[in-house]
Amino acid sequence: MAPTREMSLETKERIVKLLEEGNSSRMVAKDVGCSQSAVSKIWTKYKQHGMVVKAKRTGRPRKTSKRQDKQLKHKWEEAGANVCDRTVRNRLKEMGFQYRKAKRKPSLTPKHKRTRLQWAKERQSWTVDDWMKVIFSDESRICIGQGDDAGTFVWCRSSEIYEEACLKKTKFPQSLMIWACMSGKGTGEMTVVNSSINAQVYIDILDSFLIPSIEQMFGDNEIIFQDDNASCHRAKTVKAFLGERHIQSMSWPANSPDLNPIENLWWKLKKMVHKKAPTCKADLATAIKESWHQIDAEYCLSLIKSMPQRLKAVIKVLRE
């Protein structure tokens, strides 16, 4: 029997996120392409330990033993070299290593790749003015302290950034879930979500926060609304709600957060929140709201201007 392929960290993170949003284990299993029992195991581990992987390795495995390290140190000393941290770093750089943030690697099936390519090709002629008509949205979790939002740095070569030992290990400290939207005109409304997100909760969010954002930023002009493929986003009642409000929805390729400029906005928001150093959930909520209103429209515009280049990059990679 062929060995079972280990589930990627990105897939495990997505399972937890989808379950926290109120999706059933059956729907999550179908979404990520695994068994329902695997979803249940991941969810049980997360609830018991607050993480989806065992906290063991923190970097690349040792290539030398302690004895070999001592021998190397003695050889350097015999050659008259004083070994210090800076010297070690310099030697690593000379060998092609860089100290870089561990990458998050999307888990893409061949079908996902085909869908991404088709989606990008259909919009490759869009100008910045076209993208200015789109309002992007998403949910995100923001943690107290550095936690899961912090970067994990590892020593590795450029060709090794997606190897298992060089990827970020996942933990979920105390945190809050938020929903927000943005466009090239600036940030829209933002809200802290205190419950699991099902179709009705999502409709309430759209009614209370998306609609006012559209009216504020676009008035009566037509817009295109973007959200991802979470099952609660694609429920029939949600589609009916958007239809009644005459809001056009954008199709979205699965597992493609990198195509959503609001992901960059989350990164900036989290950095701003961490600088305020909240110590409890109440302080965290205040810090999130204050930071959100401090994000300037020029930054949002710069993200929208990056959309044509994002599509070119997708097309280039997936055609190769």
- Domain extent listing, the chain: 9-49, 110-150+172-319
Cα(266)–Cα(292) distance, integer angstroms: 10
**Reported pTM:** 0.65
What is the rounded average pLDDT for all residues in the chain? 83
Q: Residue 227: is its pLDDT beyond 90?
A: yes
Q: Is 139 exposed, middle or buried (0-12, 13-18, 19+ CB in 10 A)?
A: buried
Query: In angstroms, how far is CA 304 from the centroid of its own chain?
Result: 18
Question: 100 vs 284, which has greater pLDDT?
Answer: 284
Backbone phi, psi, residue 205, to 5°: -65, -45
Nearest Cα to 153, choosing from 143, 145, 141, 161? 161
CATH H-level superfamily of 110-150+172-319: Ribonuclease H-like superfamily/Ribonuclease H (3.30.420.10)
Average pLDDT (55-77) is 57
Cα(17)–Cα(252) distance, integer angstroms: 18
Half-sphere exposure of 116 (CA within 13 A, CB side): 25
Average pLDDT (23-41) is 85
Q: Residue 155: is its pLDDT beyond 70?
A: no
